Chains A and B, each alone.
Chain A
Amino acid sequence: MSSLDALDSRIPPSTRRIQTITILGGCGKNGVPEQLRRVDLKMGDIVSVVGPTGCGKTTLINDIELYANGTTPTGRTVLINGEPHPEDYLADPSSNPIALISQHTNFLSDLPVHVFLETHARIRGVASPARAIEETVSFANQLTGEPIILENAMTELSGGQTRSLLIADAIVIGNSPIILLDEIENAGIHRTRALELLKGYEKIFIFVTHDPRIALLSDFRIVMRDGAMQKLIVTKEEEKGVAQEIRKLDDLLLGLRQRIRSGDELDSSYLNEKLHELGYVA
């Protein structure tokens, strides 16, 4: 993809330097020290955070976003390249290498989409803003069902459009080297397309997820329980094989979902045909 090469040359040297994030364990919900005492993420890693609802997944990525220094409720410490973060990361958001796309982030801005993106591109010193905006919107439109119109107010965007634009903006205009995505599967966007697009970028991606397809696409996953990091599972060859089957089943379900969405009715012959195509029934 030629546009990706163009993006790479825009990465400012200060952010290119980021090589690792280290999470030093703190305590779980009941004050018990976390079993996993240290996690190192390096540039290019795709990582998932998994565990039941309420187990502290979002708290973990909030700690990362805040560059926790032992003073957040978990007592975790987050290091960048092995050291505490530079102060300007939090003083000026445009120097912050981390972008968090949360489950409940909504645009509150009353500006039209193009004014918002133009302003953001200007702040970030993007060399050719017009092209970057076009790229951002075309990226976002690949993730959402209904295309985003530049003249619309940000507050008029649907949930799916909002999340798509947030992700596209963080990657293209923000060009953030570290991207945290909280339950992208609930975002109302084309998540498989999102994963394909994201894989083309050299960044650290951290997904909070319940989705086996996203979890198995990761290089490794952090398992959470009772507010604590329990263990780290590296995705092995066998799981990657399983991931292929999950992909088929998932595509089957997505196909069914698409039919429901477009107002069609489902019948067993359609389902049988699909299962046959996949080799699940004779």
Chain B
Amino acid sequence: MKLAVCAGPPTCGKTTVLRQVTKRLLAKQKRLAFLKIDVQYADEDEIFQKEFSIPTRKVYSGELCPDHCNVMVLGDALRWAEQTAADILLVETAGLCLRCSPYVEGLLGVVVLEATSGMNLPRKIGPMLSLADVAVVTKIDLVSQAEREVFRARIQEAAPGTAIVESNALYGIGVDPLVRRVEQAAEVIPPLFLRGNPPIGTCTICVGKKEIGWQSHFGVVRALENQNFYRGE
């Protein structure tokens, strides 16, 4: 079985891209399973179930950060997908975290970016872009060709090794190169590892300490005037 993990800022067109990919893979007789991870609301699982009649699941990360949740549930999700006899598991993440990335070492990671989101976006979103295998640029019909070219150059600057696919996903134009990447992706062979480095240390904020100011926290902390330093035992 193959795995493709798709990230990207909210409303960038992840679902539209994945629907086009799904449509084309099903036409090639591939069996698919679909997992949506989001924080508190998602209906993509129902959309995919209704439109394509494929097995779908959704997970709300709730109190966990969504990429953290992805690491936790992905092992189970792969077993679930295998039980449904899927050839490919497509995972659509919440796409919020600009510190982490949800991609798995050796397996396909796709980021979706909108052409309309401003020239600095590629510089802002960190490993979500730089660790992706493929960057899909959506909504290209809304900007001039010159802007598409400059946006592309900005992506290449931030992520020199990432392949770029431009698409008008509503029409399904430009999606074929991504479909080929999914078809040619590596097979899932455990153990699997997260591609990026997680944040440093144990986070007191993640475990529920809410007080403002580094003096109230321990582990790797940071003051306005200092770089990171260690505080505690």
A201 sits at the interface (CB 8 A): no
Given A72-B171, A90-B174, A91-B177, is A107 in contact with B150 using a C-beta cutoff of 8 Å? no
25 A/B residue pairs, CB under 8 Å, sorted by A: A66-B168, A90-B173, A90-B174, A91-B165, A93-B145, A93-B148, A93-B152, A93-B166, A99-B145, A99-B146, A100-B145, A105-B144, A107-B147, A109-B118, A109-B150, A109-B151, A116-B146, A119-B150, A120-B150, A123-B149, A123-B150, A123-B153, A166-B146, A170-B146, A174-B146
| Bound-state Cα–Cα, A105 to B140, Å | 11
CB-CB nearest in chain B for A105: B144
Residue from the list B116, B144, B166 in contact with A90, Cβ < 8 A: B166
| C-alpha spacing A111/B122, complex, angstroms | 14
Checking A91, A108, A169, A170 against B143 with a beta-carbon cut-off of 8 angstroms, the contacting residue is A108
Q: Is the CB of A109 within 8 A of B153?
A: no
Q: A91-B165, A94-B152, A123-B153 provided; 9 other pairs, C-beta below 8 A? A: A92-B152, A93-B166, A107-B143, A107-B147, A109-B151, A110-B120, A119-B153, A123-B149, A166-B144
Provided the pairs A72-B171, A122-B153 are in contact, do residues A173 and B120 lie with their beta carbons within 8 angstroms?
no
Which residues of B sit under 8 angstroms from A77, Cβ to Cβ? none
Cβ distance A86 to chain B, nearest Cβ, rounded Å: 14
Contacts of A120 in B (CB 8 A): 146, 149-150
Asked if B150 and A111 sit within 8 Å, CB to CB, the answer is yes
Task: Answer yes or no: A164 CB below 8 A from chain B CBs.
Answer: no
Chain B's closest residue to A119 (CB) is B150
Is residue B39 contacting chain A, with contact meaning CB distance below 8 A?
no
Is B97 at the interface (CB under 8 A from chain A)?
no
Q: Tell whether A96 is near chain B: CB-to-CB under 8 Å.
A: yes
B151 partner residues in chain A, CB cutoff 8 A = 109
The residues of A with any CB-CB pair to B shorter than 8 Å are: 66, 72, 90-94, 96, 99-101, 105, 107-111, 116, 119-120, 122-124, 166, 169-170, 173-174, 176
Q: Is the CB of B173 within 8 A of A66?
A: yes
How many chain-B residues does the 8 Å CB contact rule pick out? 24
Min CB–CB distance A61 → chain B (angstroms):
12
Q: Is B1 an interface residue (CB 8 A)?
A: no
In the complex, B119 has a CB within 8 A of chain A: yes
CB-nearest residue of chain A to B177: A91
Counting chain A CB atoms within 10 Å of each CB, which of B116, B118, B145 scores highest? Answer: B145
Which residues of chain B are near A119, meaning CB under 8 Å?
150, 153-154
Q: Give Cα distance in the complex from A93 to B151, angstroms.
A: 10
**Chain B interface (Cβ < 8 Å from any Cβ of A):** 116, 118-120, 142-154, 165-166, 168, 171, 173-174, 177
Beyond A119-B153, A120-B150, whether A107 also contacts B144 by CB under 8 A is: yes
> Cβ of B173: which chain A residues have Cβ within 8 Å of it?
66, 90
A270, B120: Cα distance in complex, Å: 53
Given A90-B166, A93-B166, A110-B118, A105:B143 Cβ within 8 A: yes
CA–CA, A100 and B145, complex, Å: 7
Determine which of A90, A91, A110, A173 lies in contact with B146 in the assembled complex, contact meaning CB atoms within 8 Å: A173
Contacts of A109 in B (CB 8 A): 118-119, 147, 150-151
Q: With a CB–CB cut-off of 8 A, which chain A residues contact B143?
A: 105, 107-108
Q: How far is the CB of B150 from chain A (nearest CB, A)?
A: 5
Q: How far is the CB of A119 from chain B (nearest CB, A)?
A: 5
Which 7 A-B pairs give the minimum distances between C-beta atoms?
A93-B148, A119-B150, A93-B149, A105-B144, A169-B146, A109-B119, A123-B153
Nearest B residue to A124 via CB reads B149
B152: chain A residues at CB < 8 Å are 92-94, 123
User: In the complex, A176 Cα to B149 Cα: how many Å?
Assistant: 13
Q: CA of A166 to CA of B142 in the docked complex: distance in angstroms?
A: 14
- In the assembled complex, which residues on chain A have CB atoms less than 8 Å from the CB atom of B144? 101, 105, 107, 166, 169
B-side contacts of A124, CB under 8 Å: 149
CA distance in complex: A116, B116 (Å): 15
* CB-based nearest A residue for B168: A66
A111 and B146 contact, Cβ closer than 8 Å, known pairs A91-B177, A93-B166, A119-B153: no
- The residue of chain B having its C-beta at the shortest distance from the C-beta of A176 within the complex is B145
Q: Chain A: which residue is nearest B176 at the CB level?
A: A87
